[in-house]
Chain A
Amino acid sequence: EAGVVQSPRYKIIEKKQPVAFWCNPISGHNTLYWYLQNLGQGPELLIRYENEEAVDDSQLPKDRFSAERLKGVDSTLKIQPAELGDSAVYLCASSLGLAGGISYNEQFFGPGTRLTVL
C-alpha cells in the first residue's frame, strides 16, 4: 500500500514569490492534515479536511496561505506571497477518519516539503 505522497521534496524561492505544495493521501483516507514544522519543534496543525470540507483552518494564516482539496482526495497548499519566516518543513498527513460509525484517527505522514525562502 502506497503511503502519503508529497511534492516537491525541496523548494527554494525568493521572498514575495508564490509557492505551492501537493499532497496525495493514502487511498481511502478521508481525513487530510497539513502541518508546519519549524526547526527543532514539533509539527503544528495548519488545516484539517474531512473529505473535501475544511473542518478546522483556525491556524491557517489566511492572508497569505490557502488550501484546497478538490474531490476529497489530493490537496494543495499555497503561499502567496512567501515571507522569510515561512521557511520550514510542510508536512501532509492522512487518517482513515469515520468508517462504520467509528473514528480511526491514526495519522500517517508524508516525507514533507522543505521550503527555503531567500
Chain B
Amino acid sequence: GIQVEQSPPDLILQEGANSTLRCNFSDSVNNLQWFHQNPWGQLINLFYIPSGTKQNGRLSATTVATERYSLLYISSSQTTDSGVYFCAAQPYGQNFVFGPGTRLSVLP
C-alpha cells in the first residue's frame, strides 16, 4: 500500500517565525488532507487539497500530485499553532493513510 512520510518529525520555533512542513507519498493520490491535532487530541481540518494551492489566513498548502508531495506553510507562528500536524493521502478507490506527523512547538 501507499507509504506516507512527513518531515521534519519535530520542529521548535520562536513565536513569529515561519515554517514549512512536508508530506511525501509513494503512490498517486486523488485526495489529500492536512490536519492539526491540538493538545487535547482533536483533529482539526486545515486543508483538503488533492492538488494546487490554497490559503487560509496564516496557513497555506500546496500539493504537487505529479511529484507526490504536499507542503504546509505556517507564517508568523503563534503559540496556539503548537501540536502535531498530520497529512493523510488517499489513492483512488482506497482509504486514507496518515503520515507519522510533525510535532510543532512554538515558544513565546
| Chain A contact residues, CB within 8 Å of chain B | 33, 41-45, 48, 56, 89, 91, 93, 105-109, 111-112, 114
Query: Majority SS of interface residues in chain B?
Result: strand
Q: Say whether, besides A91-B43, A112-B41, A107 and B98 are in contact (CB < 8 Å).
A: no
B residues near A45, Cβ cutoff 8 Å: 95-97
Q: Contact between A43 and B33 (Cβ–Cβ < 8 Å)?
A: no
Chain B 34-58 interface 0/1 with A at a Cβ cutoff of 8 Å (1 = within): 0100001111010010000000000
B residues near A108, Cβ cutoff 8 Å: 45
Number of A-B contacts (CB under 8 A): 45
A89 to chain B, nearest CB (A): 6
B25 within 8 A of A: no
Q: Contact between A48 and B100 (Cβ–Cβ < 8 Å)?
A: no
Q: Contact between A42 and B33 (Cβ–Cβ < 8 Å)?
A: no
Q: Contact between B86 and A42 (Cβ–Cβ < 8 Å)?
A: yes
B residues near A109, Cβ cutoff 8 Å: 35, 42-43, 45
B90 within 8 A of A: yes
Q: Contact between B33 and A56 (Cβ–Cβ < 8 Å)?
A: no
Q: Tell me the complex Cα distance, A41–B99, Å.
A: 8
Q: Contact between B98 and A89 (Cβ–Cβ < 8 Å)?
A: no
Q: Contact between B33 and A107 (Cβ–Cβ < 8 Å)?
A: yes
B40-89 with Cβ < 8 A to chain A: 40-43, 45, 48, 86, 88
26 A-B pairs with CB atoms under 8 Å apart are: A33-B95, A41-B100, A41-B101, A42-B86, A42-B88, A42-B98, A42-B99, A42-B100, A42-B101, A43-B43, A43-B86, A45-B95, A48-B95, A91-B43, A105-B31, A105-B96, A106-B33, A106-B45, A106-B48, A109-B35, A109-B42, A109-B43, A109-B45, A111-B40, A111-B42, A114-B41
B residues near A89, Cβ cutoff 8 Å: 41
